[in-house]
């Protein structure tokens, strides 16, 4: 991944999900090809774990969840480590995620534009990414703005 290119995004709705349903519990599985730069977004009621490379674990998962006040937030996770890597390797993985997370979020948000057309209030919902790690310095939850901010930054060049 690197700079987001909408032409390199493939979106797959997992039945019975549609661009209207579900809302709460709507799940996103974003994977990519290091070789082609292609992004693959699966949208559904469940994550598409078959798309996840179990050796790399470089996917970004996200879900619409209610916060403690009952407001919907887009809550994502990035798997840094579960204790299988040294601290230095986990640090490298964390830094790669930090560098690429804006591209991943752009793919998730851009790929579900018809959903936001039906639920425009969600354009201003907060996005949080939880970096999962056994190492405290990498185990963080960070705020990444709103879907509206990501959509406003995407320039689509028609080819």
What's the confidence (pLDDT) of residue 41?
A: 98
How far apart, in whole angstroms, are the C-alpha atoms of residue 42 and residue 63? Answer: 12
- Collapsing DSSP to helix, strand or coil, 36 comes out as coil
Asked if pLDDT for residue 22 goes beyond 70, the answer is yes
Predicted confidence (pLDDT) per residue in 24-81, tens digit: 999 999 999 989 989 999 999 999 999 998 888 999 999 999 999 999 999 999 999 9
Distance, C-alpha 128 to centroid of its chain:
10
Q: Give the residue numbers spanning the domain of 97.
A: 6-153
**Per the domain annotation, does 107 fall within a domain?**
yes
Domain total in the chain: 1
**Per the domain annotation, does 110 fall within a domain?**
yes
**Per the domain annotation, does 98 fall within a domain?**
yes
**Per the domain annotation, does 113 fall within a domain?**
yes
**Per the domain annotation, does 45 fall within a domain?**
yes
Peptide bond into 16 cis (omega under 30): yes
CB 78 within 8 A of CB 131: yes
What's the confidence (pLDDT) of residue 158?
A: 47
Name the phi and psi angles at 84, rounded to 5: -80, -10
**Per the domain annotation, does 1 fall within a domain?**
no
Asked if pLDDT for residue 123 goes beyond 90, the answer is yes
**Per the domain annotation, does 159 fall within a domain?**
no
**Per the domain annotation, does 158 fall within a domain?**
no
Q: E strands, the chain, where?
A: 9-13, 27-32, 39-44, 60-66, 72-79, 127-132, 140-143
């Amino acid at each position: 991944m690197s700079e987001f290119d909408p032409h390199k995004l493939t979106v797959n709705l997992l039945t019975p999900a549609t661009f209207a349903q579900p809302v709460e519990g709507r799940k996103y599985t974003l994977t990519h090809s290091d070789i082609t730069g292609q992004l693959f977004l699966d949208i559904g009621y469940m994550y598409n774990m078959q798309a996840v490379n179990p050796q790399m674990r470089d996917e970004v998962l996200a879900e619409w969840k209610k916060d403690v006040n009952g407001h919907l937030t887009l809550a994502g996770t990035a798997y840094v480590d579960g204790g299988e890597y040294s601290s230095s390797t986990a640090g490298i993985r964390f830094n790669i995620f930090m560098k690429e997370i804006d591209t991943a979020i752009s793919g998730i948000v851009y790929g579900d534009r018809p959903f936001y057309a039906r639920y425009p209030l969600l354009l201003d919902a907060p996005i949080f990414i939880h970096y999962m790690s056994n190492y405290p310095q990498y185990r963080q939850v960070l705020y990444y703005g709103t879907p509206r901010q990501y959509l406003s930054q995407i320039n689509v060049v028609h080819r």
